[in-house]
Chain A
Amino acid sequence: MLSFHSITDSIDSWLNHTFSPTVALLLECTIVAIAAIALFATLGLVLVLMERKVAAFMQIRMGPNRVGPKGMFQSLADTIKLVMKEGLTPDGADKFLFNLAPFIVMIVAMLLLAPIGFASGFQIWDINIGVLYISAISSISVIGILMAGWASNNKYSLLGAMRSGAQIVSYELSAGLSILSIVVLSGSLQLSDIVGAQSNGWWIFKGHIPVIISFVIFIIAVTAETNRAPFDLAEAESELTAGFHTEYSGMKFALIFLAEYINIFIVCAIGATLFFGGWMPLHIGNWQSFNHIMDYIPSSLWFFGKTFFLIFVIMWFRWTFPRLRIDQLLQLEWKYLLPISMVNLLLVTVMAIMGWYF
Chain B
Amino acid sequence: MFLKDYITDIYKGVKSLLIGMRRTGYYFTHHKEIITQQYPDNREELNLPTRFRGEVILLHDENNEHACTGCTACELACPNGTIKIITKFDVSPEGKKKKALDTFIYHLELCTMCNLCVVACPTDAIVMAQNFEHSVYDRSKLTKKLNKPGSKIREGIE
Residues from chain A with Cβ under 8 Å of B17 in the complex: 320-321
Residues from chain B with Cβ under 8 Å of A320 in the complex: 17, 20-21, 23-24
Is A58 an interface position by the 8 A CB rule? yes
With both chains docked as a complex, state the minimum distance between the C-beta of B115 and any C-beta of chain A, in angstroms.
28
Residues from chain B with Cβ under 8 Å of A340 in the complex: 10
Q: Are B25 and A316 in contact (CB under 8 A)?
A: yes
Main secondary structure of the interface of B (DSSP, over half): helix
Q: How distant is the Cα of A321 from the Cα of B24 in the complex, in angstroms? A: 10
Q: Are A59 and B25 in contact (CB under 8 A)?
A: no
Q: How distant is the Cα of A169 from the Cα of B28 in the complex, in angstroms? A: 34
Q: Are B36 and A58 in contact (CB under 8 A)?
A: no
Q: Are A60 and B34 in contact (CB under 8 A)?
A: yes
Q: How distant is the Cα of A31 from the Cα of B154 in the complex, in angstroms? A: 84
What residue of chain A has the Cβ atom nearest to residue B20's Cβ?
A: A320
Chain B residue total in the interface (Cβ 8 A):
15
Is A19 an interface position by the 8 A CB rule? no
What residue of chain A has the Cβ atom nearest to residue B18's Cβ?
A: A320
Q: How distant is the Cα of A54 from the Cα of B21 in the complex, in angstroms? A: 13
Known contacts: A320-B21, A321-B17, A336-B10. The answer to whether A62 contacts B28 by CB under 8 A is: no
Residues from chain B with Cβ under 8 Å of A58 in the complex: 24, 27-28
Is A61 an interface position by the 8 A CB rule? yes
Q: Are A62 and B34 in contact (CB under 8 A)?
A: yes
Our pick among B21, B27, B38 for the contact of A59 (Cβ within 8 Å) is: B27
Is A57 an interface position by the 8 A CB rule? yes
Is A319 an interface position by the 8 A CB rule? yes
Q: Are B33 and A60 in contact (CB under 8 A)?
A: yes
- How large, as a class, is the contact surface on chain A? 10 to 19
Q: Are A61 and B20 in contact (CB under 8 A)?
A: no
With both chains docked as a complex, state the minimum distance between the C-beta of B33 and any C-beta of chain A, in angstroms.
6
Q: Are B10 and A321 in contact (CB under 8 A)?
A: no
Residues from chain A with Cβ under 8 Å of B96 in the complex: none
Q: How distant is the Cα of A301 from the Cα of B6 in the complex, in angstroms? A: 41
Residues from chain A with Cβ under 8 Å of B20 in the complex: 320-321
Q: How distant is the Cα of A270 from the Cα of B18 in the complex, in angstroms? A: 24
Residues from chain A with Cβ under 8 Å of B21 in the complex: 316-317, 320
Q: What are some 28 contacts across the A-B interface (CB < 8 A)? A: A57-B27, A57-B28, A57-B31, A58-B24, A58-B27, A58-B28, A59-B27, A60-B27, A60-B33, A60-B34, A60-B35, A60-B36, A61-B34, A61-B35, A61-B36, A62-B34, A62-B36, A316-B21, A316-B25, A316-B28, A317-B21, A319-B24, A320-B20, A320-B21, A320-B23, A320-B24, A321-B20, A336-B10
What residues make up the interface of B, taking CB atoms closer than 8 Å to A? 10, 17, 20-21, 23-25, 27-28, 31, 33-36, 38
| New A-B pairs, 18, CB < 8 Å, besides A57-B27, A60-B34, A320-B24 | A54-B28, A57-B28, A57-B31, A58-B27, A59-B27, A60-B35, A60-B36, A61-B34, A61-B35, A61-B36, A62-B34, A316-B24, A316-B28, A317-B21, A320-B17, A320-B23, A321-B20, A340-B10
